[in-house]
Amino acid sequence: MEIIHSDVLVIGGGLAGLRAGLAAQKRGQQVIILSLVPPKRSHSAAAQGGMQASLANALKGAGDNEDVHFEDTVRGSDWGNDQEVARMFTHVAPKAVRELAAWGVPWNRVEAGERTVIIDGKPVTLTESADAHGLITARDFGGTRKWRTCYVADGTGHAMLYAVSDQTIAAGIPVHERREAVALIHDGERCHGAIVRNLIDGKLTAYVAKATCIATGGFGRLYQATTNAVINEGIGAAIALDTGVVPLANMEAIQFHPTAIFPAGILVTEGCRGDGGLLRDVDGHRFMPDYEPEKKELASRDVVSRRMEAHIKAGKGASNRFGQHLWLDITLLGAAHINHKLREVKEICQYFLGIDPAKQWIPVRPAQHYSMGGIRTDAHGAARGLKGLFACGEAACWDLHGFNRLGGNSVAETVVSGMIVGAAIADFCASPDGELTVSTALIRQCFERAQAEFGAITNHHGKESASLLLREMQATMTAQVGIVRHGEAMNAAVNTLQSLLLRSRDLGLSGRRGGADPELTLAWRLQKMLKLALCVSYGALQRTESRGAHFREDYPQRNDADWLKRTLASWPDAGQTLPTLAYEPLDIARMELPPGWRGYGTRDAIEHPLTAGRQAEVDATRAALAGSDRHAVQAALMPFRHLLPAHLRGDNARLGENA
Amino acid sequence: MITLFRKPKPGAAPRRLTLHILRCNPADPASKPYLQAFELEEAEGMTLFIALNEIRATQDPSLQFDFVCRAGICGSCAMLVDGRPALACRTLTRDYGSDITLAPLPFFELIGDLSVNTGKWMRGTAERLQTWIAQSEAVDLDALEARMEPALAEAIYELDRCIECGCCIAGCGTAQMNENFVGAVGLNKIARFRLDPRDTRSDADFYELIGDDDGVFGCMSLLGCHDICPKELPLQTQIAFLRRKMAVEGLR
């Protein structure tokens, strides 16, 4: 048994993992990063439209700051998120974007003078100020009150990922590519690293570390229709679940992106609508203003996706031989804008649809896009249940996003949480708790258990096919645990998934080939993915309300009185076929922004009995401090800076504020 | 770029495709390379991503290939399609005849079948050419960002769009003869950082990295890289420009 030691083991080489690794190394810890693929191929590269940070440089961003970004994020989450975390995030986002600028990200910049943009279907002339010339500009995105989304054309994630990846190379951090963590090394209390499979030769190695950080992204591949890359199978979350002691939170909170090209599911950015693109139906009618007179195409993603599905159900979908869809019209933006600011979209349309989006409409339909839930952590990224285990990025439920995340907030979260969690990991390693005392017997036991899992599949010779079961799971999730949910359908889905889980214990491989053998890899992952699918569907079935992206026809109202709480799913006994669910209430008494109406979507929430009291407290505090500095008011309502590492606590400069 | 877009006649029966795939499994010492033919029915809008996954799911689960984004943006799936380097995920079968030959990219270490280790080579090249912003001063995270001309930011992004797919190396005559050649991917990165005012290196520094036959003077100007680049990067002009700047530097 080969054993590799490091201070910090980061599982996942996307933006969150790389940034956390850099932060930990900067504080003196020795770091190894594992990645399924070369890190620059991670799904972070697919973030197109931009990263939210309240720089307020562009004219339409004037007046923006952390307060506005915070409120947008909480409303977007449908009050399901952790408000302290949202404060930490909105405070650090401008620092992150500026750090990335210094690291070489070619953010698009403000050009002083007049320019024509499309707003609400019409050309409008904006005059950018000379003061802002050359600073980072921003575009409009859904669910935001200001133009806040900093961007690099529509290759923002690519540019960010390359800059951060290059920094890890410069820092000399080893990235072990084509490696998959298949089990955590733990004794039920403390995590000591992971058992890792080499995806080239299939060999297992034990990686022992003081701290382990899971940053493996989301699990979109549980669904048939998804914008996610093929590597987004949720295995990082699954190995945490397998410990039996680490809970996954809010797994039912799944985001569906309104504009995936139909039927391939490839994303075209929200920037298309942010820059003025429109949604049209079979008659060419722009239908979103009928449903959302205020935000129109730029309501939050959950609302737009739901309205689109409802419009299709009302008979207004266009159709091709693959089924029903709607149209995204960006022809009004003009070829010049598309060639400069939406060129990836142009290439995608050209290669996958054979159309020119400057001249033709794009067929779109909502598809699974993002998992708000994941490994439950505290504000520092420490996972619940095991000391020495951390998580960040989409794999984690740090709980920035609650039940719906805003566009541009996740790619921002990757780097912001990486900065914060990476520092916390280093502090943990340097503390007495960080000392590593692990027996080789424990490592061997975990190693042999992982080996046995693969051996059990190879030697079983059962009658089931992994690829067929996988497809059945994906079809079930898309059909029955999708955008519009119903108890009956979800009940059926839970039953189907349970039977698939049992059948997945009777797999037979068609042959055995040397090396990592893709068939064995798929078979092993399938069993993990089915457990995640059960966490999603069973959690969704039990949550008898609608909140953010979790929408139930049979319980259409948001119900704060009964459901202002986080679902915690765990899997204490490997023989179970359903997760064990528990709930964690959100504390209204500590909320800076007590629950209310989002400003878009339906206004019919069932109020929590404590909401009115907390709102009165907040109003009184604001009244008493009227005229005070906004930071002082904020600190009186809900202090958060103590949660940040010292170097990230300072006030952010803006034109006209601390500049 | 091939843009034939053969539109099938309405009502016509779908074509039978035969994919001839060059197979080899280095993990098995007895494995010798051979072409294996797989037949399947063409579907509307079928890409090589869809076709290869269908073959793996229904005919041969051991077939090795790499896809990640399947949207033409991550660079994982470059392979030789009828002898020409291309991103398989965005290659539509309808643009090809009914017999399509697939082979792994040459030059890179073979993992198995159509999978090659581009990541290892790219990391090595990044270390060798120091392809990151070289800065002496720490970033003040609380202060306004440094200003940049909007046009310059766009010009940097134009070169930053490289996805390290390896097509340019696979299509490079020099790289076939000199395995130490940094290729268009390496030279383009130097051009990108040279253009960036945030990078404090001078031409003298860049000359140390690419001022030899393994660098910009090794290029024979066959420019297969420029013709093949899936992102249509302006490799021809960048290499020519760099060569001139480095020649001037060499004469100092």
Rounded CA separation B233/B241 (Å)? 14
Tokens linked to A251: 């797994």
Tell me the per-residue pLDDT of A461-501, one tens digit each, with 9 for 90 and over: 999 999 999 999 999 999 999 999 999 999 999 999 999 99
Cross-chain Cβ contact B199/A511 below 8 Å: no
Q: ipTM, 2 decimals?
A: 0.96
Tokens linked to A374: 């994941």
Which of A98, A148, A221, A301 is an active site residue? A301
Predicted local confidence at residue B8, as pLDDT = 59
CA closest to A268 among chain B residues: B71
In the numeric block, the tokens 């050419």 are attached to B129
Handedness of CA B86, B92, B96, B101 (dihedral sign): positive
Q: Which listed CATH number (3.10.20.30, 3.40.30.10, 3.30.360.10, 3.20.20.70) goes with B16-115?
A: 3.10.20.30
Angle formed by the axes of helices B235-251 and B203-210, nearest 10°: 110
B127 near A CB under 8 A: yes
Cross-chain Cβ contact B27/A514 below 8 Å: yes
**Fold match between domain B16-115 and domain B117-136+147-250:** no
Phi, psi of A497 (to 5 degrees): -65, -35
Count of Cβ atoms closer than 10 Å to residue A14 Cβ: 35
Average pLDDT over residues A528-552: 98
Separation in Å, CA A168 to CA A162, A318, B8: 10, 47, 48
A650 near B CB under 8 A: yes
Rounded CA separation B192/B131 (Å)? 9
Separation in Å, CA A468 to CA A464, A471, A508, A523, A545: 8, 5, 12, 10, 33
In a mutagenesis test of the A interface, which of B55, B74, B137 is the best target, namely the one with the most A β-carbons within 10 Å? B74
A107 near B CB under 8 A: yes
Query: Max alpha carbon distance in chain B (Å)?
Result: 69
User: By three-state DSSP, how is residue A511 classified?
Assistant: coil
Residues of B with Cβ-Cβ distance to A109 under 8 angstroms: 147-150, 153
Angle formed by the axes of helices B150-160 and A156-170, nearest 10°: 70
List chain B domain ranges. Answer: 16-115, 117-136+147-250
Residues contacting A455, CB < 8 A, separation 6+: none
Separation in Å, CA A103 to CA A30, A569, B227: 22, 39, 31
Tell me the per-residue pLDDT of B16-59, one tens digit each, with 9 for 90 and over: 999 999 999 888 888 899 999 999 999 988 999 999 999 999 99
Cross-chain Cβ contact A352/B157 below 8 Å: no
Write b or e for each residue in A263-278: b if 16 or more Cβ atoms lie within 10 A of its Cβ, otherwise e: bbbbbbbbbbbbbbbb
Residues of A with Cβ-Cβ distance to B121 under 8 angstroms: none
Residues contacting A440, CB < 8 A, separation 6+: none
Three-class SS string for A585-626?
Answer: ECCHHHCCCCCCCCCCCCCCCECCCCHHHHHHHHHHHHHHCC
Domains and CATH numbers, chain A: 257-367 (3.90.700.10), 459-585 (1.20.58.100)
Burial zone of B30 (CB within 10 Å; 0-12 exposed, 13-18 middle, 19+ buried): exposed
Cross-chain Cβ contact B147/A340 below 8 Å: no
Cross-chain Cβ contact B139/A102 below 8 Å: yes
A residues 48-77 near B, CB within 8 Å?
55
User: By three-state DSSP, how is residue A538 classified?
Assistant: helix
Handedness of CA A393, A397, A398, A400 (dihedral sign): positive
Rounded CA separation A77/B249 (Å)? 56
Residues of A with Cβ-Cβ distance to B54 under 8 angstroms: none
Average pLDDT over residues A430-435: 96
Cross-chain Cβ contact B142/A152 below 8 Å: no
Rounded CA separation B149/B168 (Å)? 30
A residues 449-508 near B, CB within 8 Å?
467, 471
Average pLDDT over residues A254-283: 95
Cross-chain Cβ contact B69/A511 below 8 Å: no
Tell me the per-residue pLDDT of A226-259, one tens digit each, with 9 for 90 and over: 999 999 999 999 999 999 999 999 999 999 999 9
Size of interface A-B (CB pairs under 8 A): 215
Q: What is the mean pLDDT of chain A?
A: 96
Cross-chain Cβ contact A515/B25 below 8 Å: yes
A15 near B CB under 8 A: no
pLDDT over 70 (residue A102): yes
B107 near A CB under 8 A: no
One-letter amino acid of B101 = T
Rounded CA separation A123/A63 (Å)? 23
CB-based contact B39:A310 (threshold 8 Å): no
Between CA A454 and CA A459, with CA A456 as vertex, the angle to 5 degrees is 105
CB-based contact A417:A203 (threshold 8 Å): no
Cross-chain Cβ contact A98/B145 below 8 Å: yes
The list of chain B residues with pLDDT below 50 reads: 1-4
In the numeric block, the tokens 């991503």 are attached to B49
Predicted local confidence at residue B9, as pLDDT = 65
Predicted local confidence at residue B7, as pLDDT = 59
Peptide linkage before A518 cis (omega within 30 of 0): no
Rounded CA separation A256/A563 (Å)? 22
A200 near B CB under 8 A: yes
Phi, psi of B165 (to 5 degrees): -80, -25
Separation in Å, CA A173 to CA A20, A38, A415, B118: 12, 14, 17, 19
Rounded CA separation A312/A188 (Å)? 49
CB-based contact A214:A11 (threshold 8 Å): yes
Tokens linked to A132: 């802002």
Residues of B with Cβ-Cβ distance to A651 under 8 angstroms: 142
CB-based contact A468:A506 (threshold 8 Å): no
* Among the listed residues A351, A459, A419, the one whose alpha carbon sits nearest the alpha carbon of residue A213: A419
Rounded CA separation A525/A467 (Å)? 11
Phi, psi of A453 (to 5 degrees): -60, -45
Handedness of CA B138, B142, B143, B148 (dihedral sign): positive
Cross-chain Cβ contact A519/B163 below 8 Å: no
Average pLDDT over residues A513-521: 86
Strand partners, A367: A257
CA closest to B193 among chain A residues: A104
Rounded CA separation B80/B88 (Å)? 9
Tell me the per-residue pLDDT of A149-199, one tens digit each, with 9 for 90 and over: 999 999 999 999 999 999 999 999 999 999 999 999 999 999 999 999 999
Residues contacting A564, CB < 8 A, separation 6+: A79, A585, A586, A588, A595, A608
A259 near B CB under 8 A: no
* DSSP secondary structure string for all residues of A521-537: HHHHHHHHHHHHHHHHH
Angle formed by the axes of helices A83-102 and A409-430, nearest 10°: 90
Residues of A with Cβ-Cβ distance to B149 under 8 angstroms: 109, 134
CA closest to A158 among chain B residues: B161
Residues contacting B221, CB < 8 A, separation 6+: B239, B240
Predicted local confidence at residue A656, as pLDDT = 86
Rounded CA separation A240/A245 (Å)? 8
Average pLDDT over residues A550-579: 97
Homologous superfamily (CATH) for B117-136+147-250: Alpha-helical ferredoxin (1.10.1060.10)
Rounded CA separation A200/B32 (Å)? 18
Verify whether residue A301 is a known catalytic residue: yes
Rounded CA separation A403/B23 (Å)? 46
In a mutagenesis test of the B interface, which of A351, A458, A658 is the best target, namely the one with the most B β-carbons within 10 Å? A351
Predicted local confidence at residue B2, as pLDDT = 44
Tell me the per-residue pLDDT of A598-636, one tens digit each, with 9 for 90 and over: 999 889 999 999 999 999 999 999 999 999 999 999 999
